[in-house]
Amino acid sequence: MAIDYEKEVGSAKVEQKFLYESGNEMAAYAAHQINYHVMGYFPISPSTEVAQFLDTMKASGQHDIMLVPSDGEHSSAGICYGASTAGGRVFNATSAQGYMFMLEQLPVQAGTRMPMVMNLVCRSISGPLNIHGDHSDLYFALNTGWPILMCRDPQSVYDMNLMALKLAEHAKVRLPVMVASDGYFTSHQKRRVQAFAHREDVHKFVGEQPPAGFTDTLDRNNPVTVGPYMNEPDYINNRYQQSVAMYNAGEVFEEIAEEFAVLTGRRYEMIEQYRMEDADVAVFLMNSASEIIKDVVDQLREQGIKAGAISPNMIRPFPQKQIAEALKHVKAITVGDRADSVGGHGGNMVNEIKAALFTYGNTTTKVISRIYGLGGKDFYAEDGHHFFQLAMDAVVADHVEIPFDYYGHNPGAPENAPKRLLKPMNFDLLKTGLITVSKNEETGKLSVRVPPVRSLMKKPRRLSPGHGACPGCGIFSGLELFFKGIEGDIVALYHTGCAMVTTTGYPYSSHKSTFIHNLFQNGAATLSGVVEMFWERKRRGELDGLGLKEDFTFVMVTGDGGMDIGMGPAIGAALRGHKMIIVEYDNEGYMNTGAQQSYSTPLGHRTSTSSIGKTQQGKLTQHKDTAQIMAATNIPYVFTGCEAYPQDMLKKAAKAQWYAQNEGLVYGKILIACPLNWMSEDKDGTDIVSLAVESCFFPLYEVEQGITNITYNPEDKDKRVEVSAWLKTMGKTRHLLKPENEPALRSFEGEVQRRWSRLKAKHEHPDL
């Protein structure tokens, strides 16, 4: 990835080279130079690229970090925690919801004093879902006990990543360290960056191995008990140790930064001050915005205004003394917080700055607090001018007119207020009567009649056109076909994923019936709650006035790895037996975040975290059989389907509805094409999923009341094709047909055949 195009020494003691790279690339670059032992990770924008770059570099043999693709951030943090107890070096990167999902693990990491380094590529937290950069995830980190280093640009992402490890492992610290940079602004913008030219110099700086003499769960001669049960009066002493270590981290950082400055010529103080020496007015901002404000300072200085800017390079421990010192003679300062501490009369930074002033006896500097740039709203130089104007106004008035406010919000024009456009869907059209399901009381079997698809063209679709999915995306052809088999009203819940983001881009929604999105992993639990509220309110007679003609069918839609991170809640909902359908569109990866491998990615398939290179040829493990896992929960109905077999899908949808209304939870998996990430032609999706069925990779079957029934057997019709006939249709798999990958191809074919043979045995024997 990195382009080396210049070597230079300059004032530095080590040889360095110039790169032109983004923040994420530099985080990965530093990690690969350090050559951490283990990284447990899970995809989330905008930090995912860090793992992707490391995977690409690993595939070409540039490092040997063990990259562990986890099943969610709670697991990735668990993997990192476990690894960090075991004596080696550990790395992770995450953002926003990923950070929130692992939050429980983070104070444990700090409280049990296990060093590691994690990059938080800052992004706003849900809900509503927003993937852009602000500091709302970062502010949750303030109380986790991790020292936090701040990065204003890709250069500092690299530098801080090197210093972070040294800080974490220092004997006086022994804490996990977070490196925080701004999502997209820093993570995705390329800049000229200097890096150590030689890995040996990096190792000289951070130490070749982690320092010995600390907890190591792999030291058999010195067994330890990690994470005991500790009540009062001991716990407060543990916490005091941690507090001392945290304040030590401030001093140790200054020592490390000095050493780093000598080596590289780049110096990081606890706070960076820009033209503050005689400043009357100042602005405090963090990370990327704190760079933009320097241009504003220059412009104001040219007008004769004594302006200055300050920003921290470290916010845990908070540089209280340094900030108080810097503001000693400043008449007014505007503090911009890129996240609110809602109800706290200011974001976290302004309140800590006020505490700093108070602690050091400064009662004269006026402080103006503004919440800005939320959800990635850009910060322009003109916004910086506004912040300085607020400070100058306060100086003139000797008073702060509005101490706390938001900046950049707008009331909106009444004429643009949303108006209802579509009428509610016509129930009589949704309930066509053309699909019938009846139970044979003697055999207990369902008999289903579905009409030709043509007759169902009158039935309203569940979605409006106008969604933003890629050309040729198989999600909505697959889902709408499934919904054609569902009669009457539905309430839908979609997990986070392509289907959700492309149908709900504010202020538009493609959903004509009620739709809920909660989180990536928690849909099954959330819809369980809706279902139970439905039945309870129905029992109490509270739904009578809401226009309902028949019971809703509750449908949860998941995909893009939602059945990895959401497996636990899905199994929980299945075991509780809520009357609902979980339907998974399987596109064989985390396509929504840039095509990372999911457990559903088959062996050898190429994704952005299962790269192809001289040391690696795609995914290393076989694909997950979610249908069989769900069947093992003994729910009444499990099915698979795809758009190439429409009558088959319609029947299964009709059965799914019957079971979800009468018995309990249903799970179905629909294989859908993702032309962008399967690297196939937009037009070929239907044929490709059809080949997946005919090669027996994706058999069409159902498990009804525990009995397996193959609904389409390509062998019966002499239509079975080789797995390779399917694989050759996609760019992500063509490498598997090369002679050097024959062992992987054979292994994959063997697994497909093994699962198919077992399925046939189950089909033949109702007891299996």
Partner 1 sequence: MPIVNELGFFEIRLESIGGLGANLAGKMLAEAGVVGAGLNGVSFSSYGSEKKGSAVKAHIRFCDMNTHIRDTSPVERPHVVGVFHEALAKTVNVTSGIHEHSTVLVNSAKTPEELRELLKVKAGTIAVIDATSIALQEKNRVNMAMLGALFRLCPFLDTDIMKGVIEKSLGKKYPQAVQSAITTFERGYNEVKFMQFELAAGDSMPLYVRSDISALGYETQPIGGTITNPGGSFLKNLSISRSGMLPVFEIETCINCAQCDTVCPDQCFVWEERPDRKGRPQMFLLGIDYQYCKGCLKCIGACPTSALSSLREQEGFADSHSVKHQFDLVTPV
Interaction with partner 1 in 664-693: which residues (CB under 8 A)? 675-676, 682-687
Minimum CB–partner distance for residue 631 and partner 1 (Å) = 27
Per CB under 8 A, 434 contacts partner 1 = no
Scanning residues 94 to 133, which ones bind partner 1 (CB under 8 A)? 127-128, 131-132
Distance, in Å, from the CA atom of 194 to the CA atom of 14, rounded to the nearest integer, reads 11
Peptide bond into 418 cis (omega under 30): no
Which backbone phi and psi does 326 adopt, to 5 degrees? -65, -25
C-alpha distances out from residue 533 to 29, 95, 508, 530, Å: 50, 33, 27, 5
32: left (phi over 0), alpha (psi -120 to 50) or beta: alpha
3-state secondary structure of 766: coil
Question: From the list 86, 434, 469, 679, which residue makes contact with partner 1 (rule: CB under 8 A)?
Answer: 469
Residue 427 is a binding residue for partner 1 (CB under 8 A): no
CA distance 181 to 190: 14
- Which three-class secondary structure state does DSSP give residue 754? helix
Out of 294, 338, 606, 651, name the contact with partner 1 by CB under 8 A: 294
Least distance from partner 1 to the Cβ atom of residue 239, Å? 37
**Least CB distance to partner 1 at residue 111 (A):** 35
At its nearest, how many Å lie between partner 1 and the CB of residue 311?
Answer: 12
166 binds partner 1 per the rule CB under 8 A: no
571 CB-contact burial (10 Å; exposed 0-12 / middle 13-18 / buried 19+) = middle
| Residue 336 backbone zone (phi > 0: left; psi -120 to 50: alpha; other: beta) | beta
Residue with Cβ nearer partner 1 (479 or 580) = 479
CB of 353 to partner 1, least distance (A): 22
Minimum gap (Å) between residue 749 Cβ and partner 1: 26
Window contacting partner 1 (CB under 8 A); options: 231-239, 357-365, 506-514, 691-699: 506-514
User: Using the rule CB under 8 A, is 46 a contact of partner 1?
Assistant: yes
* Tokens describing residue 153: 């640009």
H or E element in which residue 283 lies: strand 281-284
Contact range with partner 1 by CB under 8 A, out of 160-168, 196-204, 507-515, 709-717: 507-515
Give residues 298-337 in contact with partner 1 (rule: CB under 8 A): none
Name the β-bridge partners of 141: none
Figure out which of the listed residues 239, 267, 345, 409 binds partner 1, where binding follows CB under 8 A: 409
Instruction: Of 271, 80, 47, 337, give the one whose Cα is nearest residue 181.
Output: 47
By the rule CB under 8 A, 471 interacts with partner 1: yes
Q: Which stretch binds partner 1 (CB under 8 A): 403-411, 433-441, 562-570, 577-585?
A: 403-411
In the complex, what is the shortest distance from the CB of residue 677 to partner 1, in angstroms, rounded to a whole number?
10
Give the binding range for partner 1 (CB under 8 A) out of 69-77, 84-92, 477-485, 662-670.
477-485
- Rule CB under 8 A: is residue 509 a binding residue for partner 1? yes
Does the footprint of partner 1 cover residue 464 (CB under 8 A)?
yes
By CB under 8 A, residue 713 contacts partner 1? no
Neighbours of 261 (CB within 10 A): 17
* Identified binder of partner 1 from the candidate list 212, 218, 342, 422, rule CB under 8 A: 422
Residue 625 touches partner 1, criterion: CB under 8 A = no
Segment interacting with partner 1 (CB under 8 A) among 208-216, 397-405, 460-468, 697-705 = 460-468
Q: Of residues 358-397, which lie at the interface with partner 1 (CB under 8 A)?
A: 377-381
- The closest alpha carbon to 752, from 728, 730, 721, 719, belongs to 721
The residues near 716 (Cβ < 8 Å, ≥ 6 apart) are: none
Phi first, then psi: give them for residue 495, nearest 5 degrees. Answer: -65, 160
Using rule CB under 8 A, residue 636 touches partner 1: no
For partner 1, the closer CB: 233 or 418: 418
Which of 107, 88, 403 has its CA nearest to residue 217? Answer: 88
Q: Which of 17, 37, 191, 321 is in the footprint of partner 1 by CB under 8 A?
A: 191
Nearest distance from C-beta of residue 188 to partner 1, angstroms: 6
542 binds partner 1 (CB under 8 A): no
Per-residue mark of binding to partner 1, 236-275 (x: CB under 8 A): ----------------------------------------
Q: Which is nearer to partner 1, 3 or 737 (CB)?
A: 3
Q: Are 647 and 700 in contact (CB under 8 A)?
A: no
Q: Is 470 in the site for partner 1 (CB under 8 A)?
A: yes
Angle, alpha carbons 39-93-146 (nearest 5°): 100
Judged by CB under 8 A, does residue 295 bind partner 1? yes
Of 626, 617, 329, 672, nearest in space to 473 by CA: 672
560, 588, 643, 648: residue in contact with partner 1 (rule CB under 8 A): 643
Rg value, the chain, Cα:
29
Q: Pairing state of beta strands 446-449 and 436-439?
A: antiparallel
Q: Which of 433, 507, 547, 739 binds partner 1 (CB under 8 A)?
A: 507
Piece of the chain touching partner 1 by CB under 8 A; list 63-71, 339-347, 467-475, 698-706? 467-475
Please give the single-letter amino acid code of residue 520.
Answer: F
Q: Strand pairing of 515-517 and 553-559? A: unpaired
Q: Does 546 bind partner 1 (CB under 8 A)?
A: no
Least spacing, CB of residue 275 vs partner 1, in Å: 13
Alpha-carbon distance of 364 to 366, in angstroms, equals 6
CB closer to partner 1 out of 645 and 658: 645
How crowded is the C-beta side of 460, counted as CA atoms within 13 Å? 19
- The one among 35, 189, 634, 709 contacting partner 1 by CB under 8 A: 189
Rounded to whole angstroms, how far apart are CA atoms 109 and 113?
Answer: 6
- Determine, following the binding rule CB under 8 A, whether residue 343 of this chain makes contact with partner 1: no
Describe the crossing of helices 23-34 and 199-206 by its angle, rounded to 10 degrees. Answer: 80
Of the candidate spans 95-103, 327-335, 433-441, 461-469, the one that interacts with partner 1 by CB under 8 A turns out to be 461-469
Kindly state the smallest distance separating residue 215's Cβ from partner 1, in Å: 40
Say whether residue 729 binds partner 1 (CB under 8 A): no
User: Could you tell me if 85 and 115 are in contact, meaning their C-beta atoms sit under 8 angstroms apart?
Assistant: no
Query: By the 8 A CB rule, do 671 and 677 touch?
Result: no
**For the stretch 457-488, what's the b/e string if a residue is b when 16 or more beta carbons lie within 10 angstroms of its beta carbon?**
eebeebbeeebebeebbbbbbbbebbbbbbbb
User: What residue spans of 265-368 are helical by DSSP H?
Assistant: 288-302, 320-326, 348-359
Give residues 547-606 in contact with partner 1 (rule: CB under 8 A).
Answer: none
The reply on whether position 35 binds partner 1 by CB under 8 A is no
Sign of CA dihedral 617, 621, 622, 624: negative
Least spacing, CB of residue 186 vs partner 1, in Å:
7
Q: Answer yes or no whether residue 280 interacts with partner 1 by CB under 8 A.
A: no
- Whether 55 and 611 have beta carbons less than 8 Å apart is answered as yes
Which residues of 10-59 form beta strands (DSSP E)? Answer: 16-21, 38-41
> Does residue 461 bind partner 1 (CB under 8 A)?
yes
What's the closest the beta carbon of residue 374 comes to partner 1, in angstroms?
Answer: 11
| Residue 493 beta carbon to partner 1: minimum distance, rounded to whole angstroms | 14
If one asks whether residue 20 binds partner 1 (CB under 8 A), the answer comes out as yes
Cβ proximity to partner 1: between 177 and 591 the closer is: 591
Which is it for strands 66-69 and 38-41: parallel, antiparallel or unpaired? Answer: parallel
Residue count, binding to partner 1 (CB under 8 A): 97
